[in-house]
Amino acid sequence: MPLAKNFFIKTFGCQMNVYDSDKMKDIFISHNVQPTDDYLNADFVVLNTCHIREKATEKTFSDLGRINKKGKKDQKVIVAGCVAQAEGELIQKRAPYVDLVIGPQSIQSLDHFLENSELSKNSVTEFDVVEIFGETIDIHGGGEDLRFPHHENECAQSFCRNDGKQLANFWLHNGMVQMADSKMSKSLGNILLIKDLLNDMPGEVIRLSLMSSHYRQPLKWSDELVNQSKKTLDTFYSFLEQYENVDIIDTKINEEILNSLSDDINTPKAISVLHSIFKDLKKDSDNIELRSSFIKSANFMGLLFSKPSNWLLKEDNNIDTQVINELIKERNQARQSKDFLAADKIRNKLLDMGVVLEDKNDITTWKKKND
């Protein structure tokens, strides 16, 4: 267990600063950091001040200088209050040992600062990122709204802690999911969970819908988006159904799709390439190499893993596939006997059941009407 941490807050100025000090105290305590009256030996020292200007300027820097000279080793120094951007730059220029500057509307950045202080030598948590992953991790992700101040704070802490080494090789900031005209968030009560969506639609529909927008861009989730994704997959599966008993050959994933995904995971472009391959495949439907490449490329993107006939039946539990296959077998026997009247009667019977037959290369396939 790490040693207990403590904090000291010095507040002066307007009533709002007193209020913000109380909020900061709650944040510290929520991270098991306890208050102390000994600022020289505190792990965290906060100066909660008004605007860093005129008479307050020298007073603030005098306090900061005294803390820096006399405070314990590895002490974290924070300036909070009505700090504008220009004033924050002044603080960083004159007092580079300040670890965090908190301006108006950004008290919560303290919470993130403490959450990620495991990146410092004086960790306030048991989870030490440096010990487990090393000084630089490969990928760091998060929402676009965390870019500033949270991730910039992390970069600054890590840069100082690790002798100028960067925190992460790659930063992945995803755009927000939009519901109607507002973003999806717990506070608005419009959160959709994948486990709940799976009760209403196949996972591949969800995946294609999510990939329709670049991960860095906002995604507008709607019934229209889901329906379009379902229609696209239905089209792919309807075409492939006639070949579901034909094995694909060993071939490579389409190079253009690989290049698109290698370019900052450009899924919209990869999907566009997939549509282009499908367009060529419909013109040359018996090209097994092209068909194999199409399926393998789609699989690489997490699509087209279902058996086509099973996919096309998922939405209709009233269709009895065994009855349909028996009728198709009877119809094929009638056609072989040149009893075309009986064959047509069976076709019409299936049509009344909502089933459309397609004959090609002596193979009969079927699909639901209006698919």
What pLDDT sits at residue 100?
Answer: 78
Please give the tally of structural domains in the chain. 3
Per-residue tens of pLDDT for the chain, all 371 residues = 345 688 888 776 554 555 577 888 888 888 888 898 887 888 888 877 765 444 445 555 666 666 666 667 778 888 776 555 555 666 666 666 777 777 655 666 777 777 765 444 333 333 356 666 778 888 988 888 888 878 888 788 777 777 888 888 999 999 989 887 777 877 677 888 888 888 888 899 999 999 999 999 999 999 999 999 999 999 999 999 989 888 899 999 999 999 999 999 999 999 999 999 999 999 998 899 999 999 999 999 999 998 898 888 755 556 677 788 889 989 989 998 999 999 999 999 888 888 888 887 777 877 776 55
Q: Does residue 188 sit within a domain?
A: yes
Cα(278)–Cα(297) distance, integer angstroms: 11
Same domain, 291 and 234: yes
Same domain, 197 and 258: yes
Q: How many CB atoms lie within 10 A of CB 217?
A: 12
Same domain, 92 and 199: no
Cα(82)–Cα(361) distance, integer angstroms: 78
Same domain, 331 and 293: no
Instruction: Say if CB 139 and CB 93 are below 8 A apart.
Output: no
Q: Does residue 346 sit within a domain?
A: yes
Instruction: Say if CB 146 and CB 173 are below 8 A apart.
Output: yes
Q: Does residue 80 sit within a domain?
A: yes
What pLDDT sits at residue 121?
Answer: 38
Query: CA 114, 116, 118: angle at the middle one, nearest 5?
Result: 100
Same domain, 321 and 349: yes
SS3 category, 365: strand
Instruction: Enter the pTM of the model.
Output: 0.55
Same domain, 190 and 304: yes
Q: Does residue 166 sit within a domain?
A: no
Q: Find tokens 């006399």 and name the residue.
A: 70
Same domain, 237 and 338: no
What pLDDT sits at residue 55?
Answer: 43
pLDDT tens for 241-269 read 989 888 899 999 999 999 999 999 999 99
Same domain, 238 and 268: yes
Same domain, 244 and 352: no
Cα 198 to Cα 141, 149, 179, 181, 215, distances in angstroms? 25, 35, 18, 24, 21
| Alpha carbon distance, N-terminus to C-terminus of the chain | 62
Q: Does residue 161 sit within a domain?
A: no
Same domain, 84 and 103: yes
Q: Find tokens 């819908």 and name the residue.
A: 209
Same domain, 108 and 225: no
What pLDDT sits at residue 180?
Answer: 74
Last residue of a domain, one of 115, 140, 171: 115
Q: Does residue 360 sit within a domain?
A: yes
Q: Does residue 230 sit within a domain?
A: yes
Q: Does residue 63 sit within a domain?
A: yes
Cα(217)–Cα(219) distance, integer angstroms: 6
Same domain, 258 and 218: yes
Cα(77)–Cα(218) distance, integer angstroms: 36
* CATH at 111: 3.40.50.12160
Cα(42)–Cα(1) distance, integer angstroms: 19
Could you list the beta-strand ranges (E) of the chain: 5-11, 33-35, 44-49, 76-81, 100-102, 137-143, 168-174, 177-179, 182-183, 219-221, 355-360, 363-368
Is it true that the peptide bond before 35 is cis, omega within 30 degrees of 0? no
pLDDT tens for 36-63 read 888 788 888 887 776 544 444 555 566 6
Domain carrying residue 348: 316-368
Cα(39)–Cα(329) distance, integer angstroms: 88
Last residue of a domain, one of 93, 115, 137: 115
